[in-house]
Structure 1
Amino acid sequence: MTTLYMPLFRSCTNLRSLAQLHAHLLVTGFHHDPLPSTKLIESYSQMGSFQSSKLVFRCFPNPDSFMWGVLIKCSVWSNLFQDAIFLYLTMIKNDQLHISNFIFPSLLRACSGFGDLGIGEMVHGTIIKSGFGKDTVIQSSLLSMYGEMGCLSYAKKMFDEMTMRDLVSWSSIILSYVENGKANEGLEMFRLMVLEGIRPDSITMLSVAEAFGDLGFLKLARLIHGYIVRRRIEIDGSLASSLVAMYSKCGDLDSAERIFLNVTNRSTALWTAMISSYYRTGRFAEALKSFFDMLDSRVEPNSVTMMSVLGSFAGLGWLREGKSVHCYIIRKEMDLEYDVLGPVFIELYMQCGKLNYCDKVLHVVGGRNIVAWNMIISICTEKGLLKEALAHLVQMQTLGLMPDSFSLASSISACADGGLLLFGDQLHGHIIKRGLSDEFVQNSLIDMYSKCGLTELAYTIFDDINEKSVVTWNSMICGFHQNGNSVEAIRLFDQMYLNGLEMNDVTFLSVLQACSNLGYLEKGKWFHHKLLTYGVKTDLYIDTALTDMYAKCGDLVTAQRVFDSMSEKSVVSWTVMIAGYGAHGRVNAAISLFNQMVESGIRPNQVTFMNILSACSHAGSVEDGKSYFKSMRDFGVEPNSEHYACMVDLLSRGGDLNEAYRNIKSMPYPADASIWSALLNGCRIHQRMDMIKSIEEDLVDIHTDDTGYYTLLSNIYGEEGNWKEFEKVRSLMKGIGLRKVPGYSLIELDKRIYRFGVGFTSLLQTEETFSFLENFQILAQEHVFYLENQ
C-alpha cells in the first residue's frame, strides 16, 4: 500500500502541497512506515525545509540505517556539513544499526565540506573495517574528499589503488590537481586518460578548460577548444562558462564573447562568467552593462555574480550606484551575513573613501569571516592608512580571529611603509612562535627590514629560505639597491643568472636602477642584452629605467635612442632624460626636451622642475633658471624647499648672493640646511666671508642631521684660517652625535665591482683588491722607470 503514495510525492510541487500530504499520512497512520517517512525527509529537504526533514526523522520511532543515511544526505544538500557529521557520530553509538555503504559518499562529502581531515581519515578507517574499501563509488568519494582538502598524495594513492578507473574517477583526480593549483599535473592525468581510451565528457572538460585558463597559454586553449568541437562534446551551459573564463584568462576576450553570444539559453553561470571576464580584465563599464542586460533577460544573479558587479563599481569609484546594488542584494536576501560578499563590500567602500561604511560591514561579519578583515587591512595599507590597517589587525584578534598569512603580510607591509620597526618586530616574533613560513610573509619581512635600513637582517631571512621564488630574489635585490648597496644587488642578480633561476621584468628593473646608482655602464649594457635575450617584454617602466641608466652612465646617445623608441612616454620618462642632459651640462638639450614635453601635452611635475632648475644651475644659465622658477605655478606646481635650494644655488654660483639671500627671506616657510648650504657654497666660491658674517645669526638657528652642512661650514672656516670657528663647528657635530660620512671607491675586476674605503675590512674579497693595487703600483713604477730611461 505504501508504494501507492509515491506518485503523490512526485505531484507535490511546493511546501504547501507536501505538508498536506504529510497531514494525510499522519491521519491514515502511514507515517510510521519507513518508506513514506524517508520520502518525506528527502522531499522536505529538496524544497529547502531541512528543519521539517529533521522533525519527521525525530518523530519516527526506530529509524533504520537507510533513513539515517537519507537525513545525512539531506544535511549535505543543505551545506550543513557539521550537522551531517554529528548525525553520523550519533548513529554509530547505536550498536544495533548495521551501517550500509549508502551512507559513506554523503558522509565523505560532509568531511571535505567541513574541512576536517582527521574525521575524514577516521571515516576512511571505518570504511576499510566494514569491508567497503573496494566499492568503486566510495573509492571515488574518498578520492574527491582528499582532493578537496588538498591532500593530493592521498588522492593519488587512492586513484592508483582503484581496480577499475571509470570516467568519474579520472575526472575527479584531474579536478583535484587543477583546484589545488597543479594545472600541469592535471593536464598530464588528462593525457593519460585519453591514452587509456577513456572518452572525456563535458564534466571532464570543465577541469581541463580551467587548467588551460590557469596556465594562460592561448595556443593550447584554442587547441583544447578544437578538441571539444572535433569530439562533438556537448558545450552545455557549464562548459561554455568554463571556456569563456579560459579565454578571458588567456587574454582573448573576443573569443570569450563569441562563445557567450553563440549560446541561446544563457544560464546564471554563463552570464556570471562573462561579467567576471570583463571585470578581471579591467573593463568595468562593460561588466556592468552585461549585468543590466542579464537583469533585462530575467536571469537571476547569484552572490558570485555580485562579486564582479560590486568589484566593477569599486574599480570605477561609483559609490551611489554601488549602494543601490547593495540595497538590491539585501532585498533579494542573497548574503545577509556577508559571508561571501563582505570582502567585496569593503573593497567598494574603501575605494570610495568610506571607511565608516566598512566598519559597519565588519560589525555584521564579526569574528566569522577573516577574508573581509584581510581585505580592509590590505586596502588600508595600499592607500597609506597604515595606523588604520594595524588597528584593524588588533581589532580582528580581539574578536578571536587569528591572523593568517595574508593578514600578517599586509600588516608587515604597513609597518614597512610607515617605518614602524618596533611593531614589525612584534609581528615577526608572533610569526616565529606560530611557525609560519609562508612565502608572502617572508617576502614582506625582507621588504620591511630593507625599508627600515636593516639589510643585514633582511638578508638573514632571505638566506634561511630554502626554496626562493623570483619574488623573494626581487625583494632582496630591491632592498639592497634602495639602501645604497648596489654592488650587493648586482652580485645577487649574478647568482640568479649563474644558477639559471627565473627572472622577470621586476628583476631587471631593480638591477638597472643599481647600475644607475653606480654609473656602471658595461654591466648595464650586459643587463640590457640579457633582458632582450630572455624575452622579457619591455614596458614603460623598463624603458624608463634603461633611459635613466644610460643617461646617468654618460651614454646620452643610447639613452636618447631608447627614449625615442618608446611608444608611450610618461612624465617620469621625460624627466629622466631631461635630468641626464642636465647632469652632463647639456642645458640647451635639456631645455629643448622640456619644451617638447610641454608641447606634447605632458604636464611637468615637481621632479621635472627640480631637474631643469638643476641643469640651469650647473650650466650657469641664471636667466633661464629664473624663468622656469616663475613658470612653476602656471603648471600648478607649488615650489618646495628643494626648488628654492636649486634657485639659491643657481644665484649663488652666478655670484648674485644678495638676490639669493632675498629669495631665502621671501620663502613662505623657514629655510632648511640644504638651502643655507647652497648660499654658503656660493660664498665660498666667490670668497665672500663678509656675507657669511652677516648671516651668522641665521645660521645659529639651524638644527639638522645633515653632516654635509656642518662639513661645508667648518671647511669654509678652515680655508680662511679661522680654526677657532672650525673647531667650534666640529665640536657641535660631535656633540649631537654626527660624524662625517666616510668616502669609498669602486673598482672593477673581472667584470665585478668591488667597493672599499677607510675601515672597509669585512666586505668583498679585500685581499684580492689589495693584491691588484700592489701589482698596479709595481707596473706603474716600471712604466715610469722605462720613460725616464728613454
Structure 2
Amino acid sequence: MSNPRTENPSSNWVYSIRSCISKKKPKTAISIYTQSRGKGGNLTSAIPLILKACASLSLLIYGQMLHSEILKTGVERDVMVGTSLVDMYGKCRDIASAHKVFDQISEKNAVTWNAMIGGYMRNGHTHKALVLFEKMTRRTSVTWIELIDGYARNRNTAMARQVFDEVPGELKTVVTWTVMVDGYVRNGDMEAAREVFERMTETNFYVWSVMITGYFKKGDAGNAREIFDRMGVRNLVNWNSLISGYAQNGMPEEALESFTRMQDAGFKPDEVTVASCLSACAQSGMLEFGKKIHDMILKNSIGMNVFVSNGLVDMYAKCGDLANARLIFEGISTKNSATWNSLIAGLAIHGQTREAIEIFRRMEESGEKPDDITFLSVLSACAHGGFVEDGLEVFSKMKKYGLTANVKHYGCLVDLLGRAGKLQDAYSLVRGMPMVPNDTILGALLVACRIHSDTVMADNVLELVRKVSFNCGIHDDAHYVQLSNIYAASEKWEMAEGMRHIFSTRGSKKTPGCSALMVRGN
C-alpha cells in the first residue's frame, strides 16, 4: 500500500484537476493549477486539462499564458499538448493561432485534425473545414460529427444533411444521428428533426431531451409532452426538459405537476429542476410552494448557483414577500444583471417605486450594466408611482449604456406622462418616436385624455389612430369606444355618436393590435 507522504505531489494535483474537469468545474481546475505551479513538481500532464478548461470558459488570455509556459518547457510538439492548443484557440475564436499551431505539429493524429476542423466550423470557415476534411486519410466518427454539427451551427442544414447521408455505415453511431437531430432543432426545423428522430433504431437520453426542448421552443407543448410520454426509461435531464419547457411557456401549473410526478418517480431535483420550479411559482404567485422548494434546496444541499439564487429572489419578489427577496438578494456575493432585475421588477410590481429606483442606482454604482429589462422595470415603477422626473432621468440614461429604447420603453414613458396630466409632452413624445405607435401606446394616450377630460388632445390622438389604421390596414375598435366615451363625458354628443357609428359599422369586432413590426414589415 502506498504512503501518501511519499507520493509525487504533482500527481495529486493532476488528479484533482482531472476530477474538476470531469465534474464540469473548469474554474476550480484552473485555480488548483495556478496554486500548484509554485509548489514544484512536473505538471506537464495537467496542461492539456487546463487548456480544455480555458476552452470551455473562452479564457483566451489565460490560454495564451499557458502557451508561453509550454514553449519554455519544450513540450509544444507533443501531439496531445499541441492538439489541446488547437482546440483551445479554435473555441476561443483565435483561428489564426489555431492554424499556426496545427501546422507546427509534425505528427498529427485524427484528434488533431478533428480539432482543427471543429475550430474552422466554429469560426464560420466552412470551406476551409471541408478542404481539411478532404485531405484526411483516416476519418473517425468524430470527424463526420464535427462537419455535420459545424454546418448546422452555421445554419446550413442542407449541407449538414448531405454530409450526414454520406457517413459510412460503420461510423454512423447514435451520436451522429443525435447531432443531426440537434442541428435541425437548433435551426427551428422540427419537422425535419422529427423525420430523422423517427428513423433512429437506437436512441439515447439526450436526443429525447433535444426533441422535447425543441418543441417547447416552438411553443408546441402538446408534441413535447407526447415525446416525453413515449419514453420507456427517463433520467433527470428528461424531466428537467419537461419542467423547464412548461415554465418557459407560461404553463406553471403543468410545470409544478410534472415536478411532483418526477419526485414520485424517485428522482431527486438538482439546480436546473429547482430553478425552473421557482420560475413557475413566480409566474403563478404560489408563495407557499416556493417556500417548500426553498426548504428543499437547504435540506438537500442543492447548489446555490446563480440561477437558483436569482430564482429565489424572483419568486419571493413576484409573490410579494419582499423581505425575503431582499434578504436573499443581499446575501448574493456576485450579482449579475438578472439578480438586480429580479428585485427591481418585484419592487415595481408591488408599488415600491422609491425602493426600485434605489436598487437601480445601487446597480449603477456596482458597475453592473443595466439592460433593456432593467430600464423597462424601473420605468414601469415610475409610471405607477407617478415619479415623472425620475422616469425622465432614467429614460435618458439608456443612451449612456448603449441601449436603444423600444416601443415598450416608450409606452411606459407615455403612460407616466399621461397619468401626470402632461398630455402635450406625451403626445409630442409619441409623434417623435422612431417607430410607429402601437395600440398600447395609443390606448395609454386615450386613457389619459379620458382621465383629464381633454377633448382637444383626444382630437389629436384621433388623427394618430386614423393614420396608424390606414398604414396598417386594420382597426382596433377599442380606440373608437374610448374616444366615444371621452366625447360623451364632455357632452360632445355628435362626436360621440360619430365614434359609435364607426364602431358599429364594422360589426363590433376587435382586431389584432398594430405593432411597429407590422407597419414596417421588418
TM over 0.5, yes or no? yes
Please give the alpha-carbon distance, in whole angstroms, between the structure 1 residues aligned to 2:80 and 2:95.
20
Give the counterpart letter for 1:690 in structure 2: D
Please give the alpha-carbon distance, in whole angstroms, between the structure 1 residues aligned to 2:461 and 2:415.
15
Equivalent position of 1:157 in the other structure: none
The equivalent position to 2:273 in structure 1, one of 507, 518, 521, is 507
Give the counterpart letter for 1:228 in structure 2: S
The equivalent position to 1:276 in structure 2, one of 48, 64, 75, is 48
What do residues 535-570 of structure 1 show as CA deviations (whole Å, max 9, x unaligned)?
111022211111111111111111111110001011
* Inter-CA distance 523–555: structure 2 relative to 1 (3 Å threshold): same
User: For the Cα contact (< 8 Å) 1:717–1:726, is it kept in 2?
Assistant: no
Please give the alpha-carbon distance, in whole angstroms, between the structure 2 residues aligned to 1:494 and 1:562.
25
CA apart distance, 1:595: 1.1
* Inter-CA distance 461–363: structure 2 relative to 1 (3 Å threshold): same
Equivalent position of 1:497 in the other structure: 263
Give the counterpart letter for 1:395 in structure 2: Q
SS in 2 for 1:537: coil
**Where does the alignment leave 5 or more consecutive residues of structure 2 unmatched?**
489-496, 515-522
CA apart distance, 1:656: 2.6
Equivalent position of 2:162 in the other structure: 395
What do residues 211-243 of structure 1 show as CA deviations (whole Å, max 9, x unaligned)?
xxxxxxxxxxxxxxxx533698x9799999778
5 Å matches for 1:691-710?
691-701=460-470, 703=472, 710=476
Equivalent position of 1:690 in the other structure: 459
Equivalent position of 2:87 in the other structure: 311
Please give the alpha-carbon distance, in whole angstroms, between the structure 1 residues aligned to 2:347 and 2:505.
40
Please give the alpha-carbon distance, in whole angstroms, between the structure 1 residues aligned to 2:467 and 2:379.
25
User: For the Cα contact (< 8 Å) 1:519–1:552, is it kept in 2?
Assistant: yes
* Inter-CA distance 431–472: structure 2 relative to 1 (3 Å threshold): same
* Inter-CA distance 357–672: structure 2 relative to 1 (3 Å threshold): farther
* Inter-CA distance 248–523: structure 2 relative to 1 (3 Å threshold): closer
* Inter-CA distance 679–342: structure 2 relative to 1 (3 Å threshold): farther
* Inter-CA distance 457–276: structure 2 relative to 1 (3 Å threshold): same
Equivalent position of 1:372 in the other structure: 143
User: For the Cα contact (< 8 Å) 2:90–2:123, is it kept in 1?
Assistant: yes
Please give the alpha-carbon distance, in whole angstroms, between the structure 1 residues aligned to 2:236 and 2:20.
27
CA apart distance, 1:593: 1.1
Give the counterpart letter for 1:655 in structure 2: G
CA apart distance, 1:426: 2.6
Equivalent position of 1:573 in the other structure: 339
The equivalent position to 2:190 in structure 1, one of 413, 421, 424, is 424
Residues 309-318 or 543-552, more deviating: 309-318
User: For the Cα contact (< 8 Å) 2:340–2:363, is it kept in 1?
Assistant: yes
TM-score (norm 2): 0.81
Give the counterpart letter for 2:253 in structure 1: V
* Inter-CA distance 621–426: structure 2 relative to 1 (3 Å threshold): same
CA apart distance, 1:373: 4.2
CA apart distance, 1:524: 0.8
TM-score (norm 1): 0.56
Please give the alpha-carbon distance, in whole angstroms, between the structure 1 residues aligned to 2:481 and 2:173.
56
CA apart distance, 1:723: 4.5
The equivalent position to 1:326 in structure 2, one of 81, 102, 112, is 102
5 Å matches for 1:738-777?
none
Please give the alpha-carbon distance, in whole angstroms, between the structure 1 residues aligned to 2:240 and 2:305.
18
How many aligned residue pairs are there? 490
The equivalent position to 1:726 in structure 2, one of 503, 509, 512, is 503
* Inter-CA distance 399–583: structure 2 relative to 1 (3 Å threshold): same
* Inter-CA distance 381–535: structure 2 relative to 1 (3 Å threshold): farther
Equivalent position of 1:228 in the other structure: 2
User: For the Cα contact (< 8 Å) 1:367–1:400, is it kept in 2?
Assistant: no
User: For the Cα contact (< 8 Å) 1:459–1:476, is it kept in 2?
Assistant: yes
What do residues 367-416 of structure 1 show as CA deviations (whole Å, max 9, x unaligned)?
9444234335546666xx4x23x234223135345765445444544544
Equivalent position of 2:417 in the other structure: 651
5 Å matches for 1:38-57?
none
* Inter-CA distance 277–639: structure 2 relative to 1 (3 Å threshold): same
Equivalent position of 2:252 in the other structure: 486
User: For the Cα contact (< 8 Å) 1:245–1:256, is it kept in 2?
Assistant: no
5 Å matches for 1:634-649?
634-649=400-415
Give the counterpart letter for 2:93 in structure 1: G
* Inter-CA distance 691–456: structure 2 relative to 1 (3 Å threshold): same
Please give the alpha-carbon distance, in whole angstroms, between the structure 1 residues aligned to 2:465 and 2:10.
83
5 Å matches for 1:30-69?
none
The equivalent position to 2:128 in structure 1, one of 350, 357, 364, is 357
CA apart distance, 1:303: 3.1
User: For the Cα contact (< 8 Å) 2:82–2:102, is it kept in 1?
Assistant: no
Please give the alpha-carbon distance, in whole angstroms, between the structure 1 residues aligned to 2:433 and 2:138.
53
Please give the alpha-carbon distance, in whole angstroms, between the structure 2 residues aligned to 1:648 and 1:257.
54
User: For the Cα contact (< 8 Å) 1:366–1:399, is it kept in 2?
Assistant: no
CA apart distance, 1:302: 3.8
User: For the Cα contact (< 8 Å) 1:587–1:616, is it kept in 2?
Assistant: yes
Please give the alpha-carbon distance, in whole angstroms, between the structure 2 residues aligned to 1:715 and 1:481.
36
5 Å matches for 1:52-131?
none
* Inter-CA distance 237–690: structure 2 relative to 1 (3 Å threshold): closer
**Which structure ranks higher in relative contact order (CA pairs < 8 Å, sequence separation ≥ 6)?**
2
What do residues 127-168 of structure 1 show as CA deviations (whole Å, max 9, x unaligned)?
xxxxxxxxxxxxxxxxxxxxxxxxxxxxxxxxxxxxxxxxxx
User: For the Cα contact (< 8 Å) 1:243–1:256, is it kept in 2?
Assistant: no
User: For the Cα contact (< 8 Å) 1:571–1:602, is it kept in 2?
Assistant: yes
What do residues 316-351 of structure 1 show as CA deviations (whole Å, max 9, x unaligned)?
43333222212212xx1424xxx3223321343345
> Is 1:341 matched up with 2:109?
no
User: For the Cα contact (< 8 Å) 2:90–2:120, is it kept in 1?
Assistant: yes
5 Å matches for 1:216-255?
227-229=1-3, 245-246=18-19, 249=22
Identity %: 26
CA apart distance, 1:670: 2.5
Please give the alpha-carbon distance, in whole angstroms, between the structure 2 residues aligned to 1:247 and 1:480.
32
SS in 2 for 1:528: helix
User: For the Cα contact (< 8 Å) 1:310–1:344, is it kept in 2?
Assistant: yes
User: For the Cα contact (< 8 Å) 2:215–2:221, is it kept in 1?
Assistant: yes
* Inter-CA distance 712–372: structure 2 relative to 1 (3 Å threshold): farther
User: For the Cα contact (< 8 Å) 1:605–1:637, is it kept in 2?
Assistant: yes
CA apart distance, 1:675: 3.0
* Inter-CA distance 447–244: structure 2 relative to 1 (3 Å threshold): closer
CA apart distance, 1:278: 1.1
5 Å matches for 1:72-221?
none
RMSD: 3.7
CA apart distance, 1:352: 4.4
What do residues 217-271 of structure 1 show as CA deviations (whole Å, max 9, x unaligned)?
xxxxxxxxxx533698x9799999778745764756787789999998x7xxx73
Equivalent position of 1:104 in the other structure: none
Please give the alpha-carbon distance, in whole angstroms, between the structure 2 residues aligned to 1:507 and 1:318.
36
* Inter-CA distance 664–257: structure 2 relative to 1 (3 Å threshold): closer
